Copies of this chain bind each other. A is one copy, B any other.
Amino acid sequence: MALHTPDQLTERLKRRSVDIRWRGQALDDVTEHPAFAPTLHSWGTWLYQAAFDPETAPTMVAGPDLNGEQSHVFWHMASTVEDLEQNLAAARLLAERSPLAGYASIGRDELQALLIVTHRLDADRGTGYHQRVRDYVSRFQREQLMTAAAVTDVKGDRAKRPAEQDDPDLYLHVVERTAEGIVVRGAKAHTSGSVGAEELIVIPTRAMRADDADYAVSFAVPVDAPGLTLIARAFNAGSDSAWEAPISSHDELAETLTIFDDVFVPYERVFLLGEWEYAGEVANTFASVNRQGYLGTESGKLRLFIGAAQRIAELNGVAGVGHIREKIAQLIRLERSIWALGVAASRESSCTPAGYQVPDPVLTNAGKHICMEGHFMATRLLLEIAGGAVTTAPLAEDLLADDIRPLVEKYLRGADPEQTWERLKVLKLIRDLAASEYSGYWNTEIIHGSGSPAAEILAMYRETDLGACKRLVERALSGREAIMPPAGAAA
């Protein structure tokens, strides 16, 4: 593919006529709206730009795509161990510069899962989904489509499955099948980045049973298809100062409640339709692929934490203190563990009959679970190292006021009076990472993004070969001269 530029993307986004609501109003052009600028940067222009930036391009440009052209790694389907390693490295590299950008591969991850599962489904059932997915991927790559993933249903009563809900629309489902396609109804929650997407890729959120068949549906749809409404939540509208928010002023992820009010989808865009036995496999394969990306992203974000911790310790004059070093070493240990799980998930990945690679599910789930717990420890350690000035330091306007600035310069210095401004900047960066509305967003994202911790626990247990571990116990017991049950004993 000819790599697309950020400007091409912006131009295409302007051409959409999407029904986006925000604060009760319909938005005309989201690309001009300040509340959405950080999302459009992080999940949009910066992402496309990274394939041209000399520092990032070597990691961002991947091998040939389905059309035989070079591709952006976030549009590339992994078919080797090395592809997965590149995915991981790319997520980290993007995240080091704009943490949430590391998650923008989610549409690709859904397609990777669909390529794999439809291949098996077709083999089992003689259906023809796989080619449809390939065709779609071919266009996805050729046009470098910006996609968002619509996965999590709104769910109503969390203790009930789709067909058990008292309102049938609480999971997205097929309400009509016409000659040309299907009509779907329902809503997906937490659709990250959809405000800046051209297409939504929809997959089931969980395993299903026979009576859930109408809920076993997957497809792609333009974000401005008739019947689609996006109710947006952009968290930091207003706190847009680059001084107060050096990261979140360009890195955000607007979410939408995405409503499908009888949306029509032609069959060539439908990738699963009623084969409920495969719904769980799509969801789980997607999770294995997507959660590996979390490991790269978290590694990148934690490297920012480590750099900020070391820098503020130097500026405060305490970089040589034992317990400060120990805390930084704890951050390092955390980051290295997460990274290592990402590396090992590539090395121990498996190749599917479809020819695409899946990271090891136990390793990715273990890693995601550690990201989740570790984020809160990392936040605490960073703030402990930095000190209370993180939240009490004056605001930007104070620093610009002629009568206040000298006081701030005199009194808010650290060890070196020449570095007062540097110290204030680093404090504000730390505030943004660990004590702000943006950090609050991360709190939730790292827990619930790509599935809950409870789902990760379940996946680790389910995907481990417990039989192999039990055989070690058997061997330990049988190979020795253990006391023998007396003749006639029960066992």
Report yes or no: B322 in contact with A322, Cβ–Cβ below 8 A.
Answer: yes
Kindly specify which of A115-123, A139-147, A219-227, A408-416 makes contact with the partner chain.
A408-416
- In the assembled complex, the CB of A49 is this many whole angstroms from the nearest CB of chain B, namely 12
Oligomeric state, in number of copies?
A: 4
Name A346-382 residues within 8 Å CB distance of B: 347-348, 362-363, 366-367, 369-370, 372-373, 376-377, 379-380
Report yes or no: A443 in contact with B318, Cβ–Cβ below 8 A.
Answer: no
A233 within 8 A of B: yes
Name A233-265 residues within 8 Å CB distance of B: 233, 235, 238-239, 241-243, 246-247, 249-250, 255-257, 259
- The CA-CA distance from A187 to B481 in the complex, in Å, is 30
- In the assembled complex, the CB of A250 is this many whole angstroms from the nearest CB of chain B, namely 7
Report yes or no: B307 in contact with A473, Cβ–Cβ below 8 A.
Answer: yes
Report yes or no: B482 in contact with A425, Cβ–Cβ below 8 A.
Answer: yes
A1 within 8 A of B: no
A179 within 8 A of B: no
- The CA-CA distance from A271 to B220 in the complex, in Å, is 67
B366, B440, B461: which contacts A437 (Cβ < 8 A)? Answer: B440
Report yes or no: B407 in contact with A444, Cβ–Cβ below 8 A.
Answer: no
Question: Quick one: which of A23, A246, A452, A472 has the most chain B CB within 10 A?
Answer: A472
- The CA-CA distance from A319 to B409 in the complex, in Å, is 41
Name A304-340 residues within 8 Å CB distance of B: 304, 306-308, 310-311, 316-318, 320-323, 325-326, 328-329, 332-333, 336-337, 339-340
Render A374-399 as a binary contact track against B, CB cut-off 8 A, 1 for contact: 00110110011001111111111111
B307, B461, B477, B490: which contacts A466 (Cβ < 8 A)? Answer: B307
Name the residue on B nearest A259 (C-beta): B407
11 further interface pairs, Cβ-Cβ under 8 Å (given A24-B398, A379-B443): A189-B388, A190-B389, A238-B238, A242-B483, A337-B341, A337-B366, A340-B344, A343-B344, A383-B448, A391-B444, A435-B440
